[in-house]
Structure 1
Amino acid sequence: LGGEGSGHILVLDRHTTGDGLVSALQVLHACMDSGKTMAQLLSEVKLFPQTLINVRLKPGQDWRSNTRLADETRAVEAELGDSGRVLIRPSGTEPLLRVMVEASDAQQSRSFAERLVDAVKSQAPA
């Protein structure tokens, strides 16, 4: 089960889209299976501070081949351990790279995200 701030909920072993009706049925199913109300289920969710920075990609910039970004990502993930996560992905609609970090502390989240953005910006276009 995964979700995002825009409201998409994905249950990839059940369906491959963020369809609202299917997602609502999945949430109701989870409530029924657990015997808990939605409020009870949500009380168990711990939200971490999140930093999202959009980095404009230069024409020809292949961020996937950026070794500094790969190294920094591994380092940040190691420092976070089980206390956060990193997600780096291209926008589907704009020439942007979305750099997202969640950590137990907002300042740490911001600092790690900025480290990764610096690594993206350090790469010259091919």
Structure 2
Amino acid sequence: MSAAPKHDVFQAVADPTRRQLLSLLAESDELTVSALSAPFAMSRTAVSKHLRVLSEAGLVRERKAGRETRYRLEAEPLQELRRWLDYYERFWTNRLSVLRQLVESDDADEDVLEPRGPRAVD
């Protein structure tokens, strides 16, 4: 039985630094902490902490190669994020479709299109 991850995919990708690390790893097979740290104005220790969060979420796999630790992207857990985003993409597409039909309708009542609430007095 495997233990539940300390961080989930949503927590892991919530940070812009971690999203950028994922982008860097997506462009390469494997990268070292030194290579991953180069684009950032932060210490390798700080980058390592971000990598630990990504690893705990299952998004990064690490492998020892001599004295170096190499990191590789594990994209499968991103499917959970994709499913969540797909739902909201369908939701907003449907809402915008209804709005378009309302706006483009020839028999649309103009009162429906006017904003409700108090009007500004000039």
TM-score of the aligned structures, taking structure 2 as reference length: 0.26
- The TM-score normalised by the length of structure 1 is 0.25
